[in-house]
Amino acid sequence: MLIGNVGKDPDVRYLDNGVAVASFPLATTERGYKLQNGTEVPERTDWHNIVLWRGLAEIAEKYVHKGDKLYIEGKIKTRSYDDQNGMKRYITEIFADNMEMLTSRSVTNQQQTAVGTAGSGMQQMAPEAGAVNPSEDLPF
């Protein structure tokens, strides 16, 4: 299981048989800490390739956006391929069996509204006092 932030909007495609497949990067961050001897261990962010199939992919297409916080359960799978130079390359992916959206809907709507109004030339409205924008805390 992983809890992290979506690195970019999901890339969703449909196979010839109509099955949806979504993929996107998910960032998980381990907080920094101080050892007993005073050594500082910095925070560490890891990136994971998430793959969703069928219904989960369709949900991601409609509701998951860059910056959203997600809970993901799934299986780790590694595959390989030969690149154009004949070198063997490996890709590790998380094939999600379960996904829960942890970003509140009001925050997601505020982000979408801000993007929409900024793109249309309209003046952005300030978020409500005390509103939290999770994308401000992201390391990317």
Give the model confidence (pLDDT) of 57-94 as tens digits: 999 999 999 999 999 999 999 999 999 999 999 999 99
Residue 96 pLDDT > 70: yes
Residue 11 pLDDT > 80: yes
Give the model confidence (pLDDT) of 12-54 as tens digits: 999 999 999 999 999 999 999 999 999 999 999 999 999 999 9
Structural domains of the chain in order of their starting residue, each with its CATH number = 2-32+41-103 (2.40.50.140)
Q: Give residue 104's pLDDT band: very low, low, confident or very high (50, 70, 90).
A: confident
Q: If you compute the radius of gyration of the chain from its CA atoms, what whole number of angstroms results?
A: 18
pTM as predicted: 0.71
Determine the Cα–Cα distance for residues 95 and 74; give it in Å rounded to an integer.
5
Which helix (H) or strand (E) covers residue 107, if one does? helix 105-119
Residue 106 pLDDT > 90: no
Residue 7 pLDDT > 50: yes
Classify the phi-psi angles of 45: left when phi > 0, otherwise alpha if psi is within -120 to 50, otherwise beta: beta
Determine the Cα–Cα distance for residues 80 and 90; give it in Å rounded to an integer.
4
